[in-house]
Structure 1
């Protein structure tokens, strides 16, 4: 996403690569942090690039996100990304994606209080084991990876 400039008339190669990746994917999983009860501007910029009509894509599929299956997750303090999820549902719903139902979307609360840890704990996440599914582009199969410290 860092290689993407704000939308303009001349899309760079990074835009074509991002669009190609979405076209070839079975679905898209957006996992976003929450800033000021919303998602970051760089994510909005990416979504704008994915929704624009660009050659060699035909006009009837100007947005590479139309009909694409999309799962949403967010991370924030005690709010667990509720603002981000609400706004992404609005934007992606308008963009005619096939969104995972809201009761299946995941918000992660990063505040120590949300984990039941004392606020003096240096990092409550270090004591947790998290299973992360990963879809590999080459095999398109679900693999698992674990994180723990």
Structure 2
């Protein structure tokens, strides 16, 4: 029964981020922007980043997608704001391992995004969960 309560909590966190996404919108002063889509399901994300002195000063995302995609974008933006580029890259790597089932959540530093580790059981949903993180990865590579 405890596992059922934990699963319900995870669902609640995902639904909260999906229904009330944090950092949703566009940045007027963005130093970088990228748009990615998931052609399998039609999810689209635009990620806007403001970098200053090797640190993510601000971040927002916009677009449309399923609840997993939207929740993941919301969770990601909350976690990376204020982080250095190197810290953000480590978080991307950690998240990608997590959703592939290759990292235990007790080893993670991803905050609410840890609940998305459950998508590893649903391979078709992995692309939904990773879309915003892949956008961040590409955007940071473009700014090197």
Shorter-chain TM-score range: under 0.3
Give TM-score scaled by structure 2 length. 0.24
More helix by share: 2
- Relative contact order, higher structure (CA 8 A, sep 6+): 2
